[in-house]
Structures are given as structure tokens and as C-alpha cells.
Amino acid sequence: MAKIEEVKAMVEAGKAKLVPGLVQEALDEGSAAKDILQAMVDSMGVVGDKFSTGEIFVPEMLMAAKAMAKGVDILKPLMAGDTSTSLGTCIIGTVAGDLHDIGKNLVSMMIESAGFTMVDLGVDVPHEKWAEAIKENQNVTLVACSGLLTTTMPALKDAVKTVKDSGLTGFKVLVGGAPVTQQFANEIGADGFAPDAGSAAVKAVELVKA
């Protein structure tokens, strides 16, 4: 099944214009939609690793994510209703008082590429909104809180506490952002920490499958 390998290569290379055609060719060749999806997820795993090691940079990662998104558009009609490949819903946002979104958006793309359905609460998310979003969405398996500023680290702590004290279950809490460390994540009761978008996707899968 050579086409599926080409799909993988072109997602990694960020060739958004080529991927939809190649996905269709892979389908025509007889590859199952979920196998093609998994191939693209695997590609994004490689992209994430390369980003984490500094081999590629944000533009290359964004282009790869775009390429995958274009490929997923072709597969969606064929996979409607099939949740077997989904890792669940991830609620993501930047905490209260913080308006930065680039890091959160990158993490969101990578976590989505890993197989999650994303619900993005945006920036400056009030504490109470996290629990509301968990209640309002189905099959929430992950809550990802982002904080870029040292001044909003208390808000990150409060967001995690609000979620943990809500009584809601079935999900893990992942935190990240420039001033966040593993130690801080442990202190505030988060289930996981990731230093960058690439490793965030890996950690997300690890937390949910544990």
C-alpha cells in the first residue's frame, strides 16, 4: 500500500495541497479510512518529536498540522459515527488573566492530531468555565490548561483546583506554558505537564491511556 506511505511522508513534509489527493488515492487503493488516519497520527507523532528536539520549528509543525487537517476532511464522511479511534474530548484554554494564545493553539493542534476532539475555550478563561465545559461536552478525557505568564501562575493553580474540586471525574488535567515546571505542576495537583506542543501530544495520549 504505497499511497498510505506517501500520505505519511507528505503530512510530515507539510504539503497541505497534496495530502487530500493522496488520501483519496489511498482510499481508492483499498486502504481503510482508520488506517489512513492512524498513519497521519503517526506522522504527527514524528513531527512532534522533531519539534521537541529542535529539528524543526513552529512553521513546519503548523504546516504539517494543516496538511493532516486537509487529509482528515476527506476521511470525515467515511468515519462519521465511528468513535473507535477517538481518544475522547479535550477541553483546552488559557487561564484567567492571560490573553496569550499561540502556545495554546499549537498544543491544541498537536493534541487534535493525536486523536482527540478539541473544545477550545479561548483565552482568559474564568475558573468556573472549566467545570461547565466538562459538563457540557461528552466523553471529556482531558483538560489542558495553559499559562504563559508568571503573573497568571496563581490562576493556573486555581483552574486546576476548581476542576479537581468539582466532583467531576473521567479525565486528567494537563498543564503547560513558559513559566510552568514539573515541580509546579506537581504542587498544584495537575496530572501531567508538558514543556512544549510536541511533547504535550505525547503526554496527552499517555495520560488518557493510563
Partner 1 sequence: MALTQRENFEIMIKGGKPEFAPLLYELYKACMLATNNTDQPWKGGVDPFGINWVATVEGVIPEPGKILFDDIADWKKYVRFPDIDSLGIEQMAQMELADFTDEKRKEQPVAVFNVCGLFERMAALMGFENTLCALIEDPDSCNEFFEAMADYKIACLNRYIDIYKPDVIIYFDDLATARGMFMSPKTYRELIKPHHKRIVEAVTSRGVIFSQHTCGKCEDILEDYVEMGVRIWNSAQVCNDLDGILTKYHGRLLVEGGWDTSGPASYMGAPVEAIIEETKRCAEQYGKKGNFILFPVIMNEKGNAFMTGDERIPALMKTWHEVNKL
54 binds partner 1 (CB under 8 A): yes
Residue 206 has which C-alpha cell?
A: 499517555
Choose the stretch contacting partner 1; rule: CB under 8 A; options: 31-39, 97-105, 113-121, 139-147.
97-105
CB of 102 to partner 1, least distance (A): 4
- Angstrom distance (rounded) from CA 154 to CA 118: 25
| Beta strand ranges found along the chain (DSSP E) | 89-94, 117-120, 140-146, 172-176, 192-193
CB of 74 to partner 1, least distance (A): 20
- Angstrom distance (rounded) from CA 70 to CA 68: 5
Residue 39 has which C-alpha cell?
A: 498513519
Contact residue for partner 1 among 21, 126, 189, 195 (CB under 8 A)? 195
78 binds partner 1 (CB under 8 A): no
150 binds partner 1 (CB under 8 A): yes
Q: Which is nearer to partner 1, 88 or 176 (CB)?
A: 176
- Angstrom distance (rounded) from CA 160 to CA 130: 9
* Number of amino acids touching partner 1 (CB under 8 A): 28
CB of 115 to partner 1, least distance (A): 21
Contact residue for partner 1 among 96, 114, 131, 153 (CB under 8 A)? 153
CB of 123 to partner 1, least distance (A): 5
Burial tier of 204 (Cβ tally within 10 Å: 0-12, 13-18, 19+): buried
Contacts of residue 78, defined as CB under 8 A and 6 or more positions apart, other chains included, come to 27, 33
CB of 54 to partner 1, least distance (A): 6
Q: In which element (H, E) is residue 34 found?
A: helix 33-52
Applying CB under 8 A, the residues found at the interface with partner 1 are: 14, 54, 56-60, 62-63, 66, 97, 99-103, 105, 122-123, 149-151, 153-154, 178-179, 195-196
